[in-house]
Amino acid sequence: MFFRLFLFLSVASSVSAAGNVCKTGNIVNRLVNSQPYYWPATWNETQTAPALEMGQTCSWTVTIPQGYYAKLIINGKTQDSLSIFQTIDAAGNLMRTTQEGMQPYYFPPSKFSVTVSNQAAATFAFRIEWKLLPTLPTLYTQISAIAEVINATNKEYYIVYDSNSGVSLLPFPEDINNYYSLRSTLIFEGGRIQRGNYIGNLFLIYQSGNQYITSSGFDSVVIVNLEASNQTNLLLIQESRYVENLHYVELVPVLNSQYKATINSQIKTSALVSTSSIKQTLIDIQMDDNANITVAYGTPDPMVFDKTYTGLQFKKLLPIMYETPVLTFVLDSGVAVFTFQA
Ligand X SMILES: *[C@@H]1O[C@H](CO)[C@@H](O)[C@H](O)[C@H]1NC(C)=O
CA angle (139 as vertex; 133, 140 as ends), nearest 5: 110
- For ligand X, the binding residues in 236-255 under the rule CB under 6 A are none
Q: 274 preceded by cis ω (within 30°)?
A: no
CB of 271 to ligand X, least distance (A): 15
CB of 203 to ligand X, least distance (A): 17
Single out the residue of 40, 135, 114, 5 nearest to residue 70, CA to CA: 114
Q: Does 44 engage in binding with ligand X (CB under 6 A)?
A: yes
- For ligand X, the binding residues in 130-149 under the rule CB under 6 A are 149
CB of 66 to ligand X, least distance (A): 28
Between 152 and 224, name the residue whose CB sits nearer to ligand X: 152
Q: Does 232 engage in binding with ligand X (CB under 6 A)?
A: yes
# residues near ligand X by CB under 6 A: 14
Between 216 and 230, name the residue whose CB sits nearer to ligand X: 230
Between 74 and 88, name the residue whose CB sits nearer to ligand X: 74
First to last CA, the chain: 72
CB of 127 to ligand X, least distance (A): 10
CB of 90 to ligand X, least distance (A): 27
Burial 307-341 (b: 16+ CB within 10 A, else e): eeeebeebeeeeeeebeeebbbbbbeebebebbbb
Tell me the C-alpha distance between 74 and 54, whole Å.
18
Contact 56, 18 (CB under 8 A): no
Tell me the C-alpha distance between 81 and 223, whole Å.
36
Among 128, 291, 293, 330, binds ligand X (CB under 6 A): 291
- For ligand X, the binding residues in 46-85 under the rule CB under 6 A are 46-47
Instruction: Point out which residues pair with 27 in neighbouring strands.
Output: 61
Contact 132, 68 (CB under 8 A): yes
CB of 311 to ligand X, least distance (A): 8
Tell me the C-alpha distance between 327 and 88, whole Å.
35
Among 13, 14, 48, 230, binds ligand X (CB under 6 A): 230
Phi and psi (nearest 5°) for 31? -85, 160
Binding mask 146-175 for ligand X (x = CB under 6 A): ---xxx--x---------------------
| Region binding ligand X by CB under 6 A among candidate stretches 71-79, 162-170, 239-247, 286-294 | 286-294
Between 88 and 296, name the residue whose CB sits nearer to ligand X: 296
Binding mask 292-311 for ligand X (x = CB under 6 A): x-------------------
Q: Does 33 engage in binding with ligand X (CB under 6 A)?
A: no
Q: Does 113 engage in binding with ligand X (CB under 6 A)?
A: no
CB of 45 to ligand X, least distance (A): 8
| Integer CA distances (angstroms), 275 to 119, 233, 249, in order | 44, 10, 12
Between 88 and 251, name the residue whose CB sits nearer to ligand X: 251
Sheet holding 84-88, edge to edge: 26-28, 57-63, 111-117, 84-88, 94-97
Between 44 and 57, name the residue whose CB sits nearer to ligand X: 44
- 65 Cβ neighbours under 8 A, 6+ residues apart: 30, 109, 110, 130
Q: Does 290 engage in binding with ligand X (CB under 6 A)?
A: yes
Binding residues for ligand X, rule: CB under 6 A, are: 44, 46-47, 149-151, 154, 230, 232, 290-292, 332-333
